[in-house]
């Protein structure tokens, strides 16, 4: 269709979609689906008696919030008579005004009471239904909803398999049969059961007594569908021409040859399972082993055509007939069909597994009850039970049937069978033309969540047969408001070839739906291809690094053209971004990006360190993690000291070695200081073990070690917070152990960079769905997805026409049960691969349709053994090759390839993976002591290992005064500034520490508000200090200086000698004089900084003279004049005491 035709069709269908009837609407990417839903909702508000009669369902909280915002925003704009800036908003305004009129008439006051709008996620709706009738839903009290129930599945499966150990157990027969089938590998069987429990909504209803017969009938239906598809290729007219040829060939072949079955072929072959051997014989007559049509040279005596005149005549006739058959590939699929006539063994296995699965599901209910937790599947199942029982609709269903008049379902292409069943029960009593409507909208071309049990075939089935007794009128939207014309034209042209030619429910296939662009052209719009050409033997690492460099170049060019341009790098798998992240962090730090759920939380250095600390605290014999915490930046033992500590004793624990005085004495002075510091902190932690929550326990040790000072930015702080929150969550649920902790961490990701402006984002294609960007870069088109291990059991729900779906299941066959013929398992595996291939095309479509102005395609190609450049199988590049292959080959001829051992890249290859890339770390330093003091016989000198977490302020001591905490915090940062130098501390670095400071202050027991205030005051004091002349002079580096110097001396009190420790904030020697300076913050000094000129600083400083005189006495043997002063941090002023 032409663009005007498409746009006209779109306009008519949009208006039709507002009618008071039931529809299913296909809305392609960028079509304005949310606006249509908003208009539909507003239109219904104008006709209902109560707003609650309309229920809108989405699949994510974000989508629900967006739709709610659109509806309320439209109502508010209408109420305010806001200007209409876009043409399509005129219709929205009309509908909003009508809705406001209805609201005023019935006194709804929607703008003041937005809670009356029922816009929910489908999961929240299911939870609501289950809570409405706790007895009917079998929940009783409401359990907690758990995102990852893997451990619960595992427990239930283990209990089911363990029943074999009980004598005279009625249910042990299927367990024995299953174990025998799986070579008595109980672990594999348990794991398979656990996997299937996560998807029990798909098979549990099919595990009745007739499961074997139902499975066989459904599988027979699928196989005969394929036979019919092949039969279409060879209609009766062609078969009639083939019959004499086949009889001739069969007469010249031995009886054991497959084609010999055609010796008496007189009538057309029916498209039935019983006729499968005949179809296989026809395939052998026409096709080679590779599935191609036989060529002239391949037709000879071996396949029934001797080199006689008669044989040559039949041979030519066969060649002529083959030209009438359009597709050899489709015909070849017949060879992969299983012969189900002798499937007793498969049937017995399916029956045994069905019984075992029911047993495991029963155990899962018990596990749910014991844990007080359930998964989403259970909530959905209980919601269905709340709506219907054995006698029919429940009272709740009848009430809802009366209450709900209109249902709207967004993203319908992502529905699962359970969710469709819920909609069916909600609309069970609805009749055509009774005023109640169902409105489903989605884009089957964007159905990419099969791993979440979404089935695009359901969209096709509902479009064809409706839901229950309710028919839906099908409408198509055909406009794209997002992308420029050049991008839309390329997508239309390309994906018409990438997508299957026709829809198929069983194969999850969607044909391409064309759409038209409405956006005006833009400069630089279109598609750009960037091949990375490699030698045949080029290293994978070299290729990845070269690709990353090319992507970074593209990003820099785009930024140079327009710094405000939004750019997204979209990948199929998170691992495809590792090389790019490493390249940017190492060589292009100016490119600030946000990685959305890309970097695993467990891969962040700070998290690895605190995880090692957690493991070490919980297990004193965990040698690896004890060594890790000694090496971590908060301790920072050198490798040499670690070797002296532990290399020659593998029997003792590291904790025991840390208490051996003679071993500690072998370490360097710095090493001794560090070791004793961490030993004291951990010893105190062990004294508190069991007296507080695990989170508080670990966190307090981490804080005392000064770990926050080892973090680089606010993102690191959020990562630590996420880790500690996870510990608290598991501990509160009674499920905390290291195994559970690491399992849960596998699902968590590091927070994006808060300093990035959002213009450059990295994410997976799945995460990008619903978003749009000026420029989209698609790298790694040449990469193949990871191969998954073949599961022990495959199953599919098959809908036969409009009847209830039936379960098809087949078990993996051990070697001793396999033969050369295709099995039912092989067939289902091939069907799964075909569905996966079709979904890959849709994933690529989603990625391409995110682009507004420009789409960059990046892929590596290299010649094969025949020196030909071809894409690898099962890659995005293979899908695109018919359209982009020519351009790739043209550019390949002009591009220098990556050599197999490129010396220019060799030095960078080792760090291609971002996991292997060492991030910026801060190793805490010990304070330096003047060398003269180290030799003073009259003093006992001890160096305290100082951090920005005060030693004297334990996180266990809550409720301290805020001013004291501010003073301690400011002191510690001034110490760090003195050590690193004032030039290393620009203002923006200090300002970036706000979250770290708030985190530490909160740990001291202050409220969030007080912590925020304290962080602000601390930052102000530090900035004032660095901006003042006195502050910079005090903190500048000198040859003989110290910060936070700790000196212990012997004093006397009532003739008892005591060890006194003195902490000197700042001391140094300049012009032959010893300066001793003590810091005071405004809060500690009780000053009012609003009018500093009114303060008598000399008087305030005089209050601290006794303290400074004590400090000066410690240096009396040095022989230098001593000058004493107070420095007021918040004022930036130095006051010397004469």
pLDDT of residue 999: 72
Does pLDDT of 802 surpass 70? no
- How many Å is the maximal CA-CA distance in the chain? 130
Given a cut of 60, is residue 36 above it in pLDDT?
yes
The pLDDT score that the predictor gives to residue 718 is 86
Least confident range of 60-64, 118-122, 204-208, 291-295: 204-208
Top-ranked range on mean pLDDT: pick from 302-311, 862-871, 911-920, 949-958 = 302-311
Tell me: pLDDT of 960 over 70.
Answer: no
Tokens, residue 1131: 């004022």
Rounded CA gap, 927 and 974, in Å?
13
pLDDT of residue 747: 84
**Residue 98: CA count within 13 A, CB half-sphere:** 16
Task: Write down the CATH number for the domain with range 3-137+377-480.
Answer: 3.40.50.300
From the CB of residue 257, how many other CB atoms can be counted at a distance below 10 Å? 17
Q: What is the pLDDT of residue 801?
A: 60
Q: How far apart are CA 291 and CA 284, in angstroms?
A: 9
Q: What is the pLDDT of residue 596?
A: 82
Q: How confident is the model at residue 165 (pLDDT cuts 50, 70, 90)?
A: low
Give CA–CA dist 912/921, Å, rounded.
Answer: 19
Confidence (pLDDT) at 70: 93
Residues in Cβ contact with 1026 at an 8 Å cutoff, skipping those fewer than 6 apart: 977, 982, 985, 987, 990, 1032, 1035
pLDDT over 70 at 21, yes or no:
yes
Predicted pLDDT at 147: 78
Q: Is the dihedral of CA 1035, 1041, 1047, 1051 positive or negative?
A: negative
pLDDT score at 938: 31
Residue 872: half-sphere exposure toward Cβ, Cα within 13 Å:
12
| pLDDT band at residue 791 using 50, 70 and 90 as cut-offs | confident
Q: Alpha-carbon distance 465 to 470, whole Å?
A: 8
CA atoms within 13 Å, Cβ hemisphere of 408? 29
Among residues 546, 197, 180, which one has the least CA distance to residue 358?
A: 197
Question: What is the Cα–Cα distance from 384 to 395, expressed in whole angstroms?
Answer: 13
The values of phi and psi at residue 666, to 5°, are -75, -20
Report DSSP state, residue 546: H
Residue 921 is given by DSSP the state: -
State whether residue 55 is helix, strand or coil: strand
Q: What is the 3-state secondary structure (H, E, C) of 628-675?
A: HHHHCCCCCCCHHHHHHHHCCCCCCCHHHHCCCHHHHHCCCHHHHHHH
Distance of CA 501 to CAs 39, 157, 504, 513, 876, Å?
33, 42, 10, 11, 18
- pLDDT attached to residue 932: 25
1041 versus 773: which is more confidently predicted?
773
Q: Is the pLDDT of residue 282 over 80?
A: yes
Report residue 522's pLDDT band, with 50, 70 and 90 as the boundaries: very high
CA dist 259 and 284 (Å) reads 7
**Neighbour order of strands in the sheet with 1041-1053:** 1041-1053, 1056-1070, 1073-1080, 1122-1128, 1133-1137
Categorize the per-residue pLDDT at 870 as very low, low, confident or very high, splitting at 50, 70 and 90: confident
Q: Residue 184 is encoded by which pair of tokens?
A: 């008595």
Low-confidence winner among 215-224, 359-368, 443-452 (lowest mean pLDDT): 215-224
CATH superfamily of 527-598+758-790+841-909: P-loop containing nucleotide triphosphate hydrolases (3.40.50.300)
Q: 933: pLDDT confidence band, cut at 50, 70 and 90? A: very low
Residue 51 has pLDDT above 50, yes or no: yes
Of residues 995 and 303, more confidently modeled: 303
pLDDT value of position 392: 62
266 or 955: whose pLDDT is higher? 266
Where are the domains positioned within the chain? 3-137+377-480, 150-232+343-374, 235-324, 527-598+758-790+841-909, 601-745, 931-1137
How far is it, in rounded angstroms, from Cα 737 to Cα 730? 8
Please tell me the distance from the alpha carbon of residue 1040 to that of residue 1065, in angstroms, as a whole number.
14
Predicted confidence (pLDDT) at residue 583 exceeds the cutoff of 50: yes
Among all chains, which residue has been given the structure tokens 């849709």? 842
Say what the pLDDT of residue 603 is.
Answer: 87
Q: What would the two tokens of residue 294 be?
A: 């036989």
Q: What is the pLDDT of residue 210?
A: 64
Mean pLDDT, the chain, rounded, equals 83
Who has greater pLDDT, 513 or 1091?
513
pLDDT at 30: 92
- 3-137+377-480 and 527-598+758-790+841-909 in the same fold: yes
The whole-angstrom separation of Cα 1121 and Cα 1112 is 10
Residues 1017-1027, buried b or exposed e (16+ Cβ, 10 A)? bbbbbbbbbbe
Return the closest-CA partner of residue 530 out of 853, 781, 857, 778.
857
pLDDT in tens, 486-496: 999 999 999 99
What is the predicted pLDDT for the residue at 452? 78
DSSP string, 74-96: HHHHHHHTPPP-STTHHHHHHHH
User: What pLDDT, on a 0 to 100 scale, did the predictor assign at position 816?
Assistant: 63
Quote the tokens at residue 43.
Answer: 């239109």
* Secondary structure E strands in 932-1082: 1041-1053, 1056-1070, 1073-1080
How confident is the model over 1029-1057, as a mean pLDDT? 72
Q: Cβ contacts of residue 468 below 8 Å, gap of 6+?
A: 424, 427, 428, 430
pLDDT at 173 over 80: no
User: Is residue 1057 predicted with pLDDT exceeding 60?
Assistant: no
Q: What is the dihedral of CA 133, 135, 137, 141, to 10 degrees?
A: 90
Is 900 a residue whose pLDDT tops 80?
no
Record the pTM: 0.75
Phi/psi at 902 (nearest 5 deg)?
A: -75, 110
* β-pair type (23-26, 437-442): parallel
19-33, 475-489, 1051-1065, 1093-1107: segment of lowest average pLDDT? 1051-1065
Does residue 823 come out as left (phi exceeding 0), alpha (psi in the -120 to 50 range) or beta? beta
For the domain spanning 931-1137, the CATH number is 3.90.320
Confidence (pLDDT) at 169? 55
Mean pLDDT, rounded, for 752-779: 90
Res 437 pLDDT > 90: yes
Between CA 92 and CA 74 the distance in angstroms is: 7
CA 600 to chain centre: 9
pLDDT > 80? residue 948:
no
Q: What is the pLDDT of residue 1077?
A: 94
Within 434-539, residue ranges assigned H as helices are 456-465, 485-498
Q: Is a pLDDT exceeding 60 seen at residue 188? A: yes
Rounded CA gap, 286 and 325, in Å?
A: 10
Checking if the pLDDT of 133 tops 80, the result is no
Chain CA centroid to CA 505, Å = 28
913 — pLDDT class (breaks 50, 70, 90) = very low
Q: Taking 80 as the threshold, does the pLDDT of residue 799 lie above it?
A: no
Under DSSP, is residue 107 helix (H, G, I), strand (E, B) or coil?
A: coil
**Could you give the CA distance from residue 751 to residue 1061 in angstroms, rounded to a whole number?**
42
The residue among 390 and 40 whose pLDDT is bigger is: 40
Alpha carbons 275 and 267: distance in angstroms, whole number: 12
- The pLDDT of residue 987 is 87
Residue 179 CB neighbour total at 10 angstroms: 19
239-276: per-residue pLDDT in tens?
999 999 999 999 999 988 999 999 999 999 999 989 99
Confidence at residue 936, expressed as pLDDT on a 0 to 100 scale: 32
Does the structure show a pLDDT above 90 at 875? yes
3-state secondary structure of 927: coil
Q: How far is CA 88 from CA 15, 32, 75, 91, in A?
A: 11, 10, 15, 6
Rounded CA-CA distance 733/740 in Å is 11
SS3 863: strand
pLDDT greater than 90 at residue 682: yes
Render 276-316 in DSSP notation, one character per residue: HHHHHHHHHHHB-TTSPBPPGGG-SGGGT--SSHHHHHHHH
**Which of 474-478, 534-538, 774-778 has the lowest average pLDDT?**
534-538
**Residue appearing with tokens 């005089």:** 1102
Torsion of CA 418, 421, 422, 428, to 10 degrees: -170
Q: CATH top-level class for 601-745?
A: mainly alpha
Examine the pLDDT at 822 and tell me if it is beyond 90. no
The mean pLDDT of 741-753, rounded to a whole number, is 85
CA nearest to 535, candidates 889, 902, 783: 902
Rounded average pLDDT over 163-184: 68
């Amino acid at each position: 269709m032409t663009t005007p035709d498409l746009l006209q069709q779109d306009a008519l269908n949009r208006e039709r979609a507002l009618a008071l009837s039931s529809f299913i609407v296909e809305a392609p990417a960028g079509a304005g689906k949310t606006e249509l839903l908003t208009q539909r909702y507003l239109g219904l508000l104008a006709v209902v008696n109560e707003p609650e009669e309309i229920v809108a369902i989405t699949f994510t909280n974000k989508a629900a919030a967006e739709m709610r915002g659109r509806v309320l925003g439209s109502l508010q704009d209408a109420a305010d008579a806001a200007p209409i800036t876009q043409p399509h908003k005129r219709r929205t305004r009309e509908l909003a005004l009508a809705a406001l009129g209805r609201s005023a008439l019935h006194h709804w006051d929607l703008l003041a009471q937005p809670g009356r709008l029922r816009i929910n996620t489908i999961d929240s709706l299911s939870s609501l239904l289950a809570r409405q009738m706790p007895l009917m839903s079998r929940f009783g009290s409401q359990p907690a909803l758990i995102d990852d129930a893997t451990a619960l599945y595992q427990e239930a499966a283990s209990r089911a398999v363990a029943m074999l150990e009980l004598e005279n157990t009625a249910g042990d027969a299927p367990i024995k049969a299953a174990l025998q089938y799986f070579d008595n590998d109980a672990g594999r069987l348990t794991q398979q059961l656990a996997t299937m429990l996560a998807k029990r909504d798909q098979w549990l209803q099919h595990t009745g007594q007739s499961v074997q017969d139902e499975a066989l009938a459904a599988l027979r239906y699928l196989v005969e569908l394929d036979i019919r598809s092949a039969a279409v290729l060879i209609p009766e007219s062609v078969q009639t021409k083939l019959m004499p040829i086949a009889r001739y060939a069969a007469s010249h072949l031995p009886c054991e040859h497959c084609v010999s079955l055609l010796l008496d072929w007189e009538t057309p072959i029916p498209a039935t399972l019983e006729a499968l051997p005949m179809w296989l014989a026809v395939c052998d007559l026409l096709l080679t082993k590779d599935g191609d049509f036989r060529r002239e040279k391949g037709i000879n005596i071996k396949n029934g055509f001797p080199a006689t005149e008669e044989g040559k005549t039949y041979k030519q006739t066969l060649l002529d007939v083959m030209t009438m058959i359009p597709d050899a590939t489709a015909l070849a699929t017949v060879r992969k069909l299983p012969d189900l006539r002798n499937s007793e063994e498969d049937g017995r296995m399916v029956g045994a597994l069905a019984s075992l699965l029911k047993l495991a599901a029963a155990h899962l209910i018990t596990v749910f009850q014991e844990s007080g937790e359930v998964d989403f599947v259970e909530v959905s199942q209980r919601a269905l039970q709340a709506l219907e029982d054995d006698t029919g609709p429940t009272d709740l269903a009848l009430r809802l049937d009366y209450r709900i008049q209109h249902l709207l379902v967004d993203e319908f292409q992502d529905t699962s069978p359970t969710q469709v069943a819920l909609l069916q029960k909600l609309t069970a009593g609805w009749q055509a033309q009774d005023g109640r409507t169902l409105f489903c909208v989605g884009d089957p071309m964007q159905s990419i969540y099969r791993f979440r049990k979404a089935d695009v075939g359901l969209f096709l089935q509902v479009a064809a047969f409706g839901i229950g007794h309710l028919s839906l009128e099908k409408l198509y939207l055909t406009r794209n408001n997002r992308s420029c014309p050049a991008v839309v034209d390329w997508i239309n042209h390309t994906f018409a070839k990438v997508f299957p030619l026709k829809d198929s429910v069983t194969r999850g296939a969607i044909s391409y739906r064309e759409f038209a662009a409405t956006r005006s052209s833009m400069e630089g719009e279109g598609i750009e291809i960037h091949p990375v050409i490699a030698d045949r033997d080029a290293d994978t690492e070299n290729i990845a690094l070269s690709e990353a460099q090319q992507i970074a170049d593209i990003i820099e060019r785009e930024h140079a053209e327009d710094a405000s341009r939004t750019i997204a790098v979209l990948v199929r798998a998170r691992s495809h971004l590792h090389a790019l992240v490493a390249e940017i962090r190492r060589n292009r730090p100016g490119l600030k990006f946000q990685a959305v759920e890309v970097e695993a939380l467990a891969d962040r250095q700070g998290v690895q360190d605190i995880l090692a600390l957690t493991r070490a605290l919980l297990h004193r014999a965990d040698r690896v993690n004890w060594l890790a915490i000694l090496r971590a930046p908060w301790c920072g033992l050198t490798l040499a000291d670690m070797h002296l500590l532990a290399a020659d004793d593998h029997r003792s624990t590291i904790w025991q070695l840390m208490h051996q005085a003679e071993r500690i004495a072998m370490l360097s002075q710095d090493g001794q200081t560090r070791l004793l510091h961490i030993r004291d902190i951990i010893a105190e932690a062990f004294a508190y073990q069991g007296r507080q929550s695990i989170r508080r326990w670990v966190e307090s040790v981490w804080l005392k070690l000064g770990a926050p000072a080892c973090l680089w930015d606010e993102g690191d702080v959020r990562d630590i917070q996420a880790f500690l929150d996870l510990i608290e969550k598991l501990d509160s649920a009674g499920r905390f152990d290291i195994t559970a902790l690491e399992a849960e961490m596998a699902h968590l990701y590091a927070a994006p960079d808060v300093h990035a402006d959002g213009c450059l984002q990295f994410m997976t294609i799945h995460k990008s769905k619903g978003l749009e960007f000026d420029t989209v870069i698609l790298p790694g088109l040449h990469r193949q997805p990871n191969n998954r291990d073949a599961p022990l059991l495959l199953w599919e729900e098959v809908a036969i026409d409009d009847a209830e779906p039936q379960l098809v299941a087949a078990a993996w066959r051990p070697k001793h049960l396999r033969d050369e013929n295709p099995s039912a398992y092989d067939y289902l595996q091939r069907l799964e691969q075909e569905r996966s291939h079709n979904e890959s095309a849709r994933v690529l479509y989603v990625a391409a349709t995110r682009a507004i102005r420009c789409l960059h395609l990046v892929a590596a190609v290299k010649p094969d053994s025949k020196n030909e450049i071809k894409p690898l199988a099962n890659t995005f590049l293979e899908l695109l090759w018919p359209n982009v292959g020519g351009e790739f080959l043209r550019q390949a001829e002009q591009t220098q390839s990556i050599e197999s051992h490129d010396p220019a890249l060799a030095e960078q290859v080792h760090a291609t993976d971002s996991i292997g890339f060492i991030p910026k770390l801060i190793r805490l330093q010990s304070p330096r002591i003047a060398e003269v003091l180290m030799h003073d016989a009259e003093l006992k000198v001890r160096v305290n290992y100082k951090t920005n977490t005060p030693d004297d302020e334990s996180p266990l001591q809550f409720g301290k005064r805020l001013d004291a905490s501010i003073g301690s915090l400011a002191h510690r940062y001034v110490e760090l500034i003195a050590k690193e130098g004032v030039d290393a501390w620009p203002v923006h670095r200090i300002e970036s520490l706000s979250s770290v400071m708030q985190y530490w202050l909160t740990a001291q027991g202050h409220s969030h508000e007080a912590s925020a205030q304290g962080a602000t005051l601390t930052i102000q004091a530090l900035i004032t200090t660095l901006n003042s002349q006195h502050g910079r002079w005090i903190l500048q580096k000198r040859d003989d200086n110290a910060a936070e110097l700790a000196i212990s001396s012997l004093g006397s009190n009532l003739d008892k000698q005591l060890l006194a420790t003195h902490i000197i904030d700042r001391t140094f020697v300049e012009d032959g004089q010893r300066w001793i300076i003590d810091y005071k913050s405004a809060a500690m000094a009780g000053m009012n900084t609003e009018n500093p000129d009114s303060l008598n600083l000399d008087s305030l400083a005089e209050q601290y003279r006794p303290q400074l005189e004590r400090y000066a006495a410690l240096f009396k043997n040095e022989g230098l004049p001593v000058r004493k002063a107070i420095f007021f941090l918040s004022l930036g002023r130095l006051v010397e005491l004469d």
